Amino acid sequence: MSTVGSIIEGGSRKPTTLASLAGMAQRGEAFACLTCYDAATARWLEQAGVHLLLVGDTAAEVVLGLPRTIEMPFEVLLALTAGVKRGAPSTVVMGDMPFMTYQASPDAAIENAGRFLVEAKADIVKLEADASFAPLVRRMASAGIPVCAHVGSKPQHVALTSGYRAQGRTRADADRVLADAQALEEAGAAMLLVEAVPSEVADEVVSRAAVPGIGIGAGTACHGQVVVLHDVMGLLEKTPGLAQPVANLGPAIREAAMQWVRRVAERDFGGKTFTMREPEA
């Protein structure tokens, strides 16, 4: 049975959980992930059979129009995550912890991660991490907070790297990525996300790990694959090389809006109209 068919029976979707994703990974079945930022879109993506929705800090750029993901306001991302979960209650929803919501202190990190689970109803939180974050991941796991550890290229570190850079392209750097993944899994990470590394590095991460691995720009070895929704749906004028669009919705939205402009100019709005009521006797 296909992956989609295994989760949709009789027109209604069976809930996807972290445990069911782990089961898929163990069986060698790939699961699909997309970013999402609103309830209406989440509803369509759940109906399509997408297994995991990441409410990413990319919302800073594609929703708020900010120049960098590190400028994502925490309270806004909490609200967006809650909306996505309301739209897709049977889908795993991952909250992306924004810059400086977990780096400053372990206590603040646990409190902020807890808000994702309690207020935003997220199933799991993601944080960009290396081996030095293992004690924090251990504390989170001990507190009952599922963590996805993001290794490889880390967008929140662009100030250090002067832009987005692939990782693991030398043996020494690849060993560092592998060591990070191993340390974070041993600390209790329930999932790994590997970004922008050579496929053979991602293959090593996945083969060594006992938890599901999600890839982005990391070849085909990972159990799950994630891309930014706006990239894969053709909603942006420029698409990064990590995502090959499967649709071209940007021009379609523009054409629909142009039709509305013409209808307004012609005073041909369509839709329901109202009439005056007859006066009561």
d(CA 117, CA 99): 18
Beta bridge partners of 148: 126, 191
Task: Retrieve residue 171's tokens.
Answer: 């043996």
Residues in the chain: 281
CB contact set of 191 (below 8 Å; sequence gap of 6+): 18, 21, 124, 146, 147, 148, 149, 211, 212, 213, 214
Phi-psi region of 152 (alpha: psi -120 to 50; beta: other; left: phi over 0): left
Element (H, E) at 148: strand 147-152
Report the relative pairing of strands 124-128 and 31-35 from DSSP bridges. Answer: unpaired
Q: Exactly one of 46, 128, 185, 195 is catalytic; which is it?
A: 195
d(CA 5, CA 7): 5
| CA dist list (Å): 121 to 18, 108, 116, 199 | 14, 19, 6, 33
Report the relative pairing of strands 92-96 and 12-13 from DSSP bridges. Answer: unpaired
CA dihedral 154, 157, 159, 161 (to 10 degrees): -60
Q: Is 195 a catalytic residue?
A: yes
Q: Which residues are catalytic?
A: 195
